[in-house]
């Protein structure tokens, strides 16, 4: 067994199984942890004498890793890497395999204060109208048009994460109540109202295009009539952004930002939005209030004679 195979089998694989099994994190999130671990372990192999044992990793190794990564990835990615590595070392400390976490006390580069990007309500309408426009021009099939319309309606109308949408089954949807019961990050459950328009599209999709509607059948299907992966939805969004002449850096998660911002714009309570988004901490949701404050100040500056 090679050194690379050994550390994967001994250290990384059990941790990843813990994430998806015990903590019930999505495969997408587990891949992010895996990326962080692989970057760190490859650095250790190339630049240190750790010899495959976590007991030999120290704060200096971690600090040098952060310095080296600043030439390769963004500051946000570095923060994500270190967050994942801290969780990794805590796991092995809890199991008694190591005694200290080398990430404790590490100083990270400061993140720029950046408000979440979002679309206007007019832009959202342009985006969501795209599939039917293509259908009317016979550029896509009815199956694709209503599938794509459903994806966009649920991303915006329910504030789903893209992984939650891919995992959505008919058993999670109450057609009588117009809600979906979602299990999000960390196994946290929440109820998502789907909205009148999204429910109408979902009902049409179920009646006319669904392959199966049993409890465990996926709602969103690929062109091959199989459960769709997040990458497929990301590529779908790019197509409709181009069609609507919208910024190509908008992502499914930024549609979620738009969902939250528009709720608050129209008077929704902050704690209600926290529940709808499935945020564990109110502080995570409060960033959207900064968006609103920024828009208020912009309107004031433009309209008030003494601004």
| Catalytic residue list contains 94 | no
Q: Which of 161, 190, 257, 262 is catalytic?
A: 161
Mean pLDDT of 36-60: 87
**pLDDT-derived band of residue 289, with 50, 70 and 90 as boundaries?**
low
- Residue ranges and CATH numbers for the domains of the chain are 3-94 (1.10.150), 121-301 (1.10.443.10)
Choosing from 8, 256, 257, 262, the catalytic residue is 256
Residue 307 pLDDT level (bands cut at 50, 70, 90):
very low
Is the four-CA dihedral 262, 266, 270, 271 of positive or negative sign? negative
Query: Mean pLDDT, the chain, as a whole number?
Result: 85
Provide the sign of the torsion angle of the four alpha carbons 52, 28, 251, 119, taken in this order. negative
Most confidently predicted of 1-10, 39-48, 166-175, 243-252: 166-175
At 57-68, the pLDDT tens digits run 889 999 999 999
- Surface-to-core class of residue 61, CB atoms within 10 Å of its CB (0-12 exposed, 13-18 middle, 19+ buried): middle
Residues in the chain: 307
**Confidence check: pLDDT of 117 > 90:** no
Predicted confidence band of residue 165 (pLDDT cuts 50, 70, 90): very high
Q: Which residue among the candidates 23, 90, 253, 254 is catalytic per the annotation?
A: 253
Active site residue 63: no
Catalytic residue among 8, 257, 262, 279: 279
First to last CA, the chain: 69
Does the pLDDT at position 161 exceed 90? no
- The confidence band for 304, taking pLDDT boundaries of 50, 70 and 90, is very low
The pLDDT of residue 226 is above 70? yes
pLDDT at 211: 92
Phi, psi of 191 (to 5 degrees): -105, 130
79 catalytically annotated: no
Q: Is the pLDDT of residue 131 over 70?
A: yes
Instruction: State pLDDT tens for residues 73-108.
Output: 998 899 999 999 999 999 999 999 998 899 888 889
Whole-number percent of the chain with pLDDT over 90? 46
Active-site annotation holds for 185:
yes
Q: Tell me the per-residue pLDDT of 245-283, one tens digit each, with 9 for 90 and over.
A: 988 888 888 888 888 888 877 777 777 777 777 666 656
pLDDT at 185 over 80: no
- Active-site residue identified among 185, 206, 225, 254: 185
């Amino acid at each position: 067994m090679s050194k690379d195979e050994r550390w994967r089998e001994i250290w990384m694989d059990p941790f990843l199984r813990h994430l998806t099994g015990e903590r019930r994190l999505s495969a997408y999130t587990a891949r992010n942890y895996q990326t962080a671990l692989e970057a760190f372990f490859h650095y250790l192999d190339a630049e240190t004498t750790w010899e495959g044992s976590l007991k030999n990793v120290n704060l200096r190794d971690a600090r040098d890793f952060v310095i080296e990564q600043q030439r390769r990835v963004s500051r946000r990615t570095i923060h994500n890497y270190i967050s994942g590595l801290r969780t990794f070392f805590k796991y092995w400390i809890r199991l008694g395999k190591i005694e200290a976490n080398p990430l404790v006390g590490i100083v990270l580069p400061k993140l720029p204060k950046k408000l979440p990007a979002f679309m206007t309500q007019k832009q959202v309408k342009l985006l969501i109208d795209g599939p039917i426009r293509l259908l009317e021009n016979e550029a896509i099939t009815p199956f694709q048009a209503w599938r794509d319309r459903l994806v966009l309606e649920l991303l915006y109308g329910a504030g789903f994460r893209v992984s939650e949408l891919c995992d959505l089954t008919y058993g999670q949807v109450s057609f009588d109540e117009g809600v979906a019961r979602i299990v999000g990050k960390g196994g946290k459950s929440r109820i998502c109202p789907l909205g009148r328009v999204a429910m109408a599209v979902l009902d049409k999709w179920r009646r006319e295009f669904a392959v199966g509607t049993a409890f465990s059948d996926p709602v969103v299907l690929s062109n091959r009539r199989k459960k769709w992966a997040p990458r497929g939805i990301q590529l779908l969004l790019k197509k409709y952004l181009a069609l609507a002449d919208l910024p190509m850096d908008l992502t499914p998660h930024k549609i979620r930002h738009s969902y939250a911002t528009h709720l608050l714009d129209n008077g929704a309570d902050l704690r209600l939005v926290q529940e709808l988004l499935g945020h564990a901490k109110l502080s995570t949701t409060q960033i959207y209030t900064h968006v609103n404050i920024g828009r208020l100040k912009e309107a004031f500056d433009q309209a008030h004679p003494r601004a």
